[in-house]
């Protein structure tokens, strides 16, 4: 199938999945009012692929069919290909203001990374299955969600909890799994879901060492979504919740059959623990680009709000916003670094020169790439800081009236008279404040704040991995060098 249209995407969601929201079964997500906005946003991205002005950026010739495919699946190996890939990620993130962290873009890159990594690890059968799934997802132009985390049964132990997804039966037609995984952002509006490693497992936990992809309507899979954050308010009042609420879900697998071709890794500890470290880095590149756009959007909104109440003339706010602009510049440097590093790794992999890195918890103890470090630390800091600056710039103004208040003939004219700012009328000022509130104060805004802190697991555990990396010893060696001479 060539690239989908928005309408074809919408139809693809009517697949009979078992999905629960707020205690009720939602048998057709395309008819569930709170999800209409986000579905329309994603459908718009599909239609973009057919826009002659955008098609060159968003698509490429599929290596298997020759037809146009989403460039999010491009396995870049040259500088121009990396620029094409980055341009595609950039445009799609820009269309969504960097606010949809888990569009399929993330997983398209992740699946390509996985196939290359498994090949680099010498796991050729697993690599072939991963490549088959890349092609399945690419040729059907689907949205893919992922669930990498075990349920919080007992975080005092590192053992795989018995509640996590595990093998319960092996059959001729595939492997039957049961258990729970989280947290699957995009699940209500995705077509396929990936389950795989994040942290390493230990010997003895082979039944839990799984990486697979199943469709959202797989028999036995229950998708239990958190309540939607958009409940029909005027779009003026909820400009973000009404368009970008991706949803988050817990996935419950109750005797789900995973056909052999869809099971990438099954009990192979080297493959399971190595596949995230041996990847070229398409995923961190996507995440870096998306996070940079979000940082730009937050800095822009903080500036517009500061201008709307005159705070842009105060040194304190100029300094706060100036720091954000400087952070954007750092983020652009990380993007350039992620491209350069990705290119270097992809080319080394192609030559068969692979330096397998450890996960920072087990040997060898070198971790990640600069984009990965940025996702773990820089963007959680920068985007949290940006949201804080926005809060300070808006101050009490963020607790603003609604579109309905403004439309009320008794109070609308009073707002026009008294709720203005320097060079800005009351309606535009109100619109900005509603946007700031949706970014920081509504359920959507709170969740966005949590997401940036936790989307790549907890900072402390990530920091321990970096502590155990070879870089720590390199730094220490500098001190020895000084003292020994």
Ligand X SMILES: Cc1cc2nc3c(=O)[nH]c(=O)nc-3n(C[C@H](O)[C@H](O)[C@H](O)COP(=O)(O)OP(=O)(O)OC[C@H]3O[C@@H](n4cnc5c(N)ncnc54)[C@H](O)[C@@H]3O)c2cc1C
Q: Which residues bind ligand X (CB under 6 A)?
A: 102, 146-150, 152, 155, 158, 183-185, 198-199, 248, 361, 447, 450-451, 454-455, 457-458, 461
DSSP for 216-234, please give it: TT-TTEEEEEPPPS--S--
In the complex, the smallest distance separating the C-beta of residue 310 from ligand X, rounded to whole angstroms, is: 35
CB 168 within 8 A of CB 178: yes
Query: Which CB atom, from 157 or from 485, has the smaller least distance to ligand X?
Result: 157
In the numeric block, the tokens 């990620």 are attached to 89
Query: Which CB atom, from 135 or from 359, has the smaller least distance to ligand X?
Result: 359
Residues of 312-323 as b/e, b for ≥16 C-beta within 10 angstroms? beeeebeebbee
Q: Could you tell me the two tokens for 336?
A: 């350039």
> Which has the closest alpha carbon to 58: 129, 2, 136, 133?
2
> How far apart are alpha carbons 445 and 260 in whole angstroms?
41
* DSSP classification of residue 424: B
Q: Cβ–Cβ contacts within 10 Å for residue 453, how many? A: 14
Query: Which CB atom, from 182 or from 415, has the smaller least distance to ligand X?
Result: 182
In the complex, the smallest distance separating the C-beta of residue 103 from ligand X, rounded to whole angstroms, is: 11
In the complex, the smallest distance separating the C-beta of residue 258 from ligand X, rounded to whole angstroms, is: 18
In the complex, the smallest distance separating the C-beta of residue 290 from ligand X, rounded to whole angstroms, is: 13
Sheet strand arrangement including 192-195 = 144-147, 192-195, 210-215, 263-266
In the complex, the smallest distance separating the C-beta of residue 157 from ligand X, rounded to whole angstroms, is: 8
Query: Which CB atom, from 67 or from 227, has the smaller least distance to ligand X?
Result: 227
CB 126 within 8 A of CB 268: yes
Residues of 260-271 as b/e, b for ≥16 C-beta within 10 angstroms? eebbbbbbbbeb
**In degrees to the nearest 10, what's the CA dihedral of 315, 305, 94, 32?**
150
Task: Kindly provide the residue ranges of all beta strands, DSSP E only, lying in 324-446, ordered along the sequence.
Answer: none
Query: Which CB atom, from 147 or from 339, has the smaller least distance to ligand X?
Result: 147
Query: Which CB atom, from 461 or from 471, has the smaller least distance to ligand X?
Result: 461
Query: Which CB atom, from 158 or from 314, has the smaller least distance to ligand X?
Result: 158
In the complex, the smallest distance separating the C-beta of residue 190 from ligand X, rounded to whole angstroms, is: 10
Query: Which CB atom, from 89 or from 349, has the smaller least distance to ligand X?
Result: 89
> How far apart are alpha carbons 434 and 235 in whole angstroms?
10
> How far apart are alpha carbons 179 and 161 in whole angstroms?
10
In the complex, the smallest distance separating the C-beta of residue 93 from ligand X, rounded to whole angstroms, is: 16
Query: Which CB atom, from 401 or from 461, has the smaller least distance to ligand X?
Result: 461
**What CA–CA distances, in Å, run from 180 to 15, 216, 404, 466?**
22, 14, 43, 29
In the complex, the smallest distance separating the C-beta of residue 90 from ligand X, rounded to whole angstroms, is: 21
In the complex, the smallest distance separating the C-beta of residue 82 from ligand X, rounded to whole angstroms, is: 25
């Amino acid at each position: 199938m060539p690239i989908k249209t928005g309408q074809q995407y919408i139809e693809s969601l009517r697949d009979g999945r078992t999905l629960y929201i707020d205690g009720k079964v939602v048998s057709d997500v395309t008819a569930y009012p709170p999800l209409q906005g986000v579905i329309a946003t994603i459908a718009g991205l599909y239609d973009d692929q057919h826009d002659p002005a955008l098609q060159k950026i968003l698509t490429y010739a599929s290596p298997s069919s020759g037809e146009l495919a989403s460039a999010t699946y491009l396995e870049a190996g040259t500088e121009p290909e990396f620029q094409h890939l980055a341009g595609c990620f950039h445009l799609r993130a820009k269309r969504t203001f960097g606010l949809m962290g888990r569009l399929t873009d993330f997983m398209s890159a992740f699946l390509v990374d996985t196939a290359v990594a498994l090949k680099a690890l010498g796991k050729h059968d697993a690599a072939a299955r991963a490549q088959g799934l890349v092609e399945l997802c690419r040729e059907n132009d689907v949205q893919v969600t992922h669930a990498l985390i075990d349920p919080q049964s007992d975080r005092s132990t590192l053992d795989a909890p018995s509640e996590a997804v595990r093998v319960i039966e092996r059959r001729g037609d595939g492997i039957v799994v049961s258990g729970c995984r989280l947290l699957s952002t995009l699940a209500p509006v995705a077509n396929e879901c990936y389950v795989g490693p994040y942290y390493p497992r230990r010997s003895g936990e082979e039944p839990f060492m799984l990486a697979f992809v199943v469709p959202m309507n797989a028999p036995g899979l229950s998708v239990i979504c958190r309540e939607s954050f958009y409940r029909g308010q005027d779009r003026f009042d909820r400009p973000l919740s009404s368009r970008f609420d991706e949803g988050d879900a817990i996935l419950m697998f109750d005797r789900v059959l995973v056909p052999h071709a869809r099971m990438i890794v099954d009990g192979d500890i080297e493959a399971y623990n190595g596949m995230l470290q041996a990847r070229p880095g398409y995923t961190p590149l996507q995440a870096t680009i998306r996070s940079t756009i979000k940082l730009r959007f937050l800095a822009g909104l903080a500036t517009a709000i500061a201008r709307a109440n005159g705070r842009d003339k105060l040194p304190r706010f100029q300094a706060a916003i100036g720091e954000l602009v400087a952070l954007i510049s750092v983020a652009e440097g990380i993007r350039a670094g992620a491209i350069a590093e990705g290119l270097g790794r992809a080319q080394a992999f192609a030559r068969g020169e692979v330096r397998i890195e450890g996960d920072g918890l087990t040997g060898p103890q070198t971790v990640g790439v600069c984009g990965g470090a940025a996702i773990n630390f820089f963007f959680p800091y920068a985007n949290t800081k940006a949201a804080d600056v926005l809060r300070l710039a808006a101050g009490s103004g963020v607790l603003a009236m609604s579109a309905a208040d403004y439309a009320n003939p008794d109070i609308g004219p009073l707002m026009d008279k008294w709720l203005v700012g320097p060079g800005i009328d009351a309606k535009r000022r109100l619109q900005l404040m509603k946007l700031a509130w949706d970014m920081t104060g509504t359920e959507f805004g709170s969740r966005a704040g949590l997401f940036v802190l936790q989307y790549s697991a907890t900072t402390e555990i990530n920091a321990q991995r970096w502590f155990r990396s070879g870089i720590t010893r390199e730094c220490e060696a500098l001190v020895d060098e000084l003292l020994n001479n």
